[in-house]
Amino acid sequence: MGGKKKAEKKKKGLGAEKTAQKTEKKLSAKMRKELALQGEEDIETLVARFSAEDAKKSCKTITEIPLTDRPSKRSNFSLVAHPNKDQLLMFGGECIVNKSTTVYSDFLCFDIKKQKWTQWECSGGPPPRAAHQAVTIAGDGGQMWMFGGEFVTPSESQFYHYRDLWVFHFKDRRWEKIEVKGGPSGRSGHRMVVLYTPNLPPRVAIFGGFHDSLRGDCRYYNDFYIFDLSERLWRKLEITGTPPAPRSGHLMAALNDGRIYIHGGFSKVKAPSKKKGFDDETGVVHADSFFLTPDKRDTTGTKFKWIQAKTTGSVPSKRCSSTLVAWTESGKNSALVFGGVHDDEEQEVLSDSSDEEEEVSTVQRFQVSKARSNFLREELFRASAVCGCKLYDGSGG
């Protein structure tokens, strides 16, 4: 009997999945017709065209173009420090002007000593995106790894979530797309760090993020993936302990003792509608903290446990899309938290207040080993990087 019930349950699940796929297909066809009337291409066609046009370009190495001014205004870009030089690397981002959104694919370098910006132009690189993640490592002449993100049409009526993995080789000054199966699903708003484990090569770790569908609902993730840089292999880890709730826009840092620290973020949960005509989803800004702790007896680097952190001191207020940079100082794990945003969706629904979101203008120094923080000192959807002993912060929206 038990086996029969399981089979029926599985059959129902497959039926629901097929129904959802058919609904998505119908909505996609309907949207294509509506967009054609508006003169806007289907988003998958747009993304494919970007890649095809880029592949036709003859340039296979970097061409440096000096900028006379700073990069154009944008948010949701990536900003990382060059692993071997006093340089900062910025990629992509988006900007909304007069209700029209532009998504970028430019690759920009800031020389810290010369205080000058240069655009690194090269074909064969990632298509336009925002809300992606990038990290750098020093091995093999230096590399920058990038995953995911999203592309949105100018009208913001269509979203495309990438699930591609890219690496930029600083030594050869070229892009490479990594064609490997088994990685995370398409998403944006996730977080990515380089995980250093004793006696193991460096690996890339990804947690969380979200995905929008044509039906208008969002799916948030709390899965954890590791990409082995030497084997070029994805692994989805099954972790013990109680995990953080699914979220995006959270803070995430890899510590020198092999642990990973996660704080805050944003997600939407189903809730009864409070006002006619509004969605039955409500936004939640998280304020909890977790450590992902490795098993000391494990030699494979694949066994971890979630442990919720008990925070003390001046804990950061509820927020998401802040920046977090971590380092080791006098044997202690420390970090800086800067900026962020807190959406007050309940106020927006129940009243006509124009204060739809609150920008948090604080910087907090955080002693991660004891989960203790204190204030040091505006903007959201920004990025920060540490180069040498200095913190560099890029503007957001």
- Tens digits of residue pLDDT in 144-157: 999 999 999 888 88
Q: What is the pLDDT of residue 76?
A: 93
- pLDDT at 159 (0 to 100): 86
pLDDT computed for residue 124 by the predictor: 86
* pLDDT attached to residue 27: 58
In this model, does residue 352 exceed pLDDT 50?
no
Mean pLDDT of 337-342: 79
The first and second tokens of residue 273, run together, are 């509608």
pLDDT at 380: 42
With a pLDDT cut of 70, the percent of the chain lying above it is: 71
pLDDT in tens, 202-231: 999 999 999 987 566 789 999 999 999 999
What is the pTM assigned to this prediction? Answer: 0.80
How far, in Å, are 124, 236, 300, 301 from residue 226 at the CA level?
25, 6, 12, 10
- Under the banding of pLDDT at 50, 70 and 90, the label for residue 2 is low
Average pLDDT of the chain, as a whole number: 80
Which segment of 93-107, 263-277, 296-310 scores lowest on mean pLDDT? 263-277
Q: What is the band of 341 on the pLDDT scale with cuts at 50, 70, 90?
A: confident
202 Cβ partners below 8 Å, 6+ apart?
A: 137, 139, 194, 195, 196, 229
Closest CA to 95 of 161, 156, 49, 27: 156
Least confident of 16-25, 207-216, 310-319: 16-25
For residue 348, pLDDT over 70 is answered with: no
Rounded Cα gap, residues 189 and 132, in angstroms: 7
pLDDT of residue 368: 47
pLDDT band for 256, please (50, 70, 90 cuts): confident
Q: Which residue has the higher pLDDT, 133 or 99?
A: 133
Label residue 232 by pLDDT band (50, 70, 90). Answer: very high
Q: What count of other Cβ atoms lies within 10 Å of the Cβ of residue 3? A: 7
> Do 245 and 210 touch, CB atoms closer than 8 A?
no
Residue 358 pLDDT class (50, 70, 90 cuts): very low
Q: Give the pLDDT mean for 59-70.
A: 85
Among 5-14, 33-42, 178-187, 260-269, the range scoring the smallest mean pLDDT is: 5-14
Q: What is the mean pLDDT of residues 60-66?
A: 84
**Range of weakest confidence among 146-160, 228-242, 254-268, 313-327:** 313-327
* pLDDT at residue 143 greater than cutoff 90: yes
Burial status of residue 115 (CB atoms within 10 A of its CB: 0-12, 13-18, 19 or more): exposed
Q: Which pLDDT score, from 0 to 100, does residue 351 have?
A: 26
Q: 183 with 163: CB under 8 angstroms? A: yes
Higher pLDDT, 280 or 189: 189
What pLDDT, on the 0 to 100 scale, is given for residue 41? 74
* Nearest partner of 322 among 250, 246, 373, judged by Cα: 250
Model confidence at 21: pLDDT above 90: no
Least confident of 127-131, 153-157, 163-167, 318-322: 318-322
Is the predicted pLDDT of residue 370 greater than 50, yes or no?
Answer: no
Q: Is the pLDDT of residue 128 over 70?
A: yes
Q: Greater confidence, 122 or 233?
A: 233
Of the listed ranges 187-191, 281-285, 331-335, 392-396, the least confidently predicted one is 392-396
pLDDT tier at 14, thresholds 50, 70, 90 = low
More confident: 269 or 373:
269
